Amino acid sequence: MTEAKETKTKKSKPRYIPKRKVCAFCRDKSIAIDYKDPEKLRPYVADRGKIAPRRKTGTCAKHQRLLATAVKRARHLALLPHAPSHVREAEAG
């Protein structure tokens, strides 16, 4: 009976642990979040016009809040688009 109850050993793969992202604003103290510089804000806005989440960009909570405020101000002043350009072209055409 002990032979029939043989345990199966399953080789498990090592679990994937992604490398922790470091906040670029904390790492380089010289980088300032400013709504007047849309080129610095573009990497944090997705191609659909949405603000990228923290888990994707690696920013800390403090800088993500400042970043979101800066993006919203830049949108309000028409420095950044609210919607992607191909959506606006489809509505107009």
- Give the model's confidence band at 81: pLDDT under 50 very low, under 70 low, under 90 confident, else very high: confident
Tokens of 50: 């949405």
CB atoms within 10 A of CB 56: 10
- pLDDT at 26 (0 to 100): 92
**Contact (CB, 8 A) for 44 and 57:** yes
What's the pLDDT band for 44 if we cut at 50, 70, 90?
very high
- DSSP result, 28-84: -TT----TT-HHHHGGGB-TTSPBPPHHHH---HHHHHHHHHHHHHHHHTTSS-SS-
**pTM, 2 dp:** 0.71
CA–CA gap between residue 38 and residue 90 (Å, rounded): 25
